Amino acid sequence: MPDTKPTPTQEDDIFFPKPKTLKTIHGEDVIVPKVSWKKERQIIAEVKGLIQQFPDLAAYATGNVGELATTTWQLVVRAAEEAPQVLSRLAAIVLEKPEEWVDDNLDSERIISLLAPLFVQKANHWLRLFREHGVLKAPSQGQLAS
């Protein structure tokens, strides 16, 4: 029977995971620090501020078709103005770097590759917790989550 015992290197990776790194546009590796609750609160505040910039989202919630075309264009224009600054601030929070450093060393692809997994991981974690505690029902087969 083959020996399936993990090697010391594999055990180290399990118990002491290597820090995640992000490569800058200049080819330098930057360590991505763990996201603390303090950082999460800062991120939530930034995202909340961005969402508050878009009161026209109510047209989507109410389904007022007459307003949707105009509202969509206004949202696109406003998002193009606001989102890049918010993304830079979010990346600066996560990386514990000044916003100017983010602007000088990362591009949109790197910023999205840093932030998207974080948002997906946190959203999945929160949804699981809400379902476990009865706040949300698990979707039935073929239904969207509520």
pLDDT, position 52:
78
DSSP states along 74-130: HHHHHHHHHHHHHHHHHHHHHHT--HHHHHHH--HHHHHHHHHHHHHHHHHHHHHHH
* Residue ranges of the chain whose pLDDT lies below 50: 146
Provide the token pair at 121. Answer: 């991981």
pLDDT, position 25:
98
pLDDT, position 70:
64
pLDDT, position 88:
96
Provide the token pair at 33. Answer: 């620090």
DSSP states along 17-86: PPPEEEE-TTS-EEEE----HHHHHHHHHHHHHHHHT-GGGHHHHHT-HHHHHHHHHHHHHHHHHHHHHH
pLDDT, position 142:
55
CB-side exposure of 119: number of CA atoms within 13 Å? 13
pLDDT, position 51:
77
Reported pTM: 0.68
pLDDT, tens digit (0-9, with 9 covering 90-100), for 97-131:
999 999 999 999 999 999 998 888 888 888 888 88
pLDDT, position 99:
97
Taking the C-alpha atoms of residue 21 and residue 71, their distance in angstroms, rounded to an integer, is: 39
Provide the token pair at 19. Answer: 């820090």
